A = this chain, B = another copy of it.
Amino acid sequence: MSPEEHPVPPPTPAKKTRLSRELVLSAALALVDSEGLDALTMRRLGQQLGRDPMSLYRYADNRAALLDGVSELVLNELAIIPDDPDWQAQLRRIAHDLRLLALRHPNVVPLLVTRPLSTPLGLRPLGTLRPLEQILSLLIDAGFAPVDALHVYRAYYGYLYGHILNELQEFVVDPDENEALLRLGLHRLPPKDFPRLRALAPVLADYDGMAELDEGINILLSGLAAHLPLPGASAKP
């Protein structure tokens, strides 16, 4: 979508700037954003920076580390203010922000979701652990016991990521088509086996991701608040 968000001269490399980790990573992110994960090869990135591919290894141990760096860079765009007294409002805001972040960098989402599956907590890029730490902080400062804060975090973040995946999966295949079935490519499904899905095509076609996210978060947060010893409010079973 957007052509340029990062300080990168892709076609006209300003020949002799000294490279830096930030430069490399933001060029990598730009490449991923504009052409997808597969386009991020060492050679391509080197070319983008006007440098030999091998020079990149000064700034990332290998391709996997490069991917981790990109994840980290993206997650750093997420602002968390840990001393907001209204934890629910804060979590709602973060959810919206993260959703927008994902929509802005859809090609990075697979990384965000996948890389932690192959890296133990303690070995992850610190930037990717920051949201966890800060949300825990937020909740504990709001009065939750640490154990309960962890529960809230898990339910919240789990749902949040799940929603983002959901929303990104339901993308429209052909926006010019005005028949809902065709827009989503659902006409290929055998009507006998997928009657419900096909019938829901019009509803699927206009999906308000933000509202949906909000509703889920609300249900979850108020449910959690009702089940746990609460800091502020008072609903008690």
Interface residues of chain A, those whose CB is within 8 Å of chain B, are 106, 109-110, 113-114, 116-117, 120-123, 126, 129-130, 132-133, 136-137, 140, 146-147, 149-151, 154-155, 157-163, 165-166, 168-173, 184-190, 193-197, 199-200, 203-204, 212, 215-216, 219-220, 222-224, 227
Q: Known contacts A166-B158, A169-B117: does B216 contact A150 (CB below 8 Å)?
A: no
CB distance from A177 to the nearest CB of B (A): 12
Of all chain B residues, the one with the shortest Cβ separation from A185 is B122
Specify which of B123, B126, B163 is in contact with A162 (CB 8 Å cutoff): B163
Pairwise interchain contact B158-A216, C-beta atoms closer than 8 A: yes
25 residue pairs bridging A and B, Cβ less than 8 Å apart: A113-B114, A117-B165, A120-B171, A120-B172, A121-B173, A121-B185, A122-B173, A122-B186, A123-B185, A123-B188, A129-B189, A129-B197, A133-B197, A150-B203, A154-B163, A154-B216, A155-B212, A155-B215, A155-B216, A157-B166, A161-B162, A162-B165, A216-B220, A219-B219, A220-B220
This chain: how many copies in the complex?
A: 2
Pairwise interchain contact A117-B110, C-beta atoms closer than 8 A: yes
Pairwise interchain contact B154-A158, C-beta atoms closer than 8 A: no
Of all chain B residues, the one with the shortest Cβ separation from A38 is B118
Of all chain B residues, the one with the shortest Cβ separation from A141 is B196
CB distance from A62 to the nearest CB of B (A): 13
Pairwise interchain contact A170-B114, C-beta atoms closer than 8 A: no
A151 — which chain B residues lie within 8 A by C-beta? 212, 215
A129 — which chain B residues lie within 8 A by C-beta? 189, 194, 197
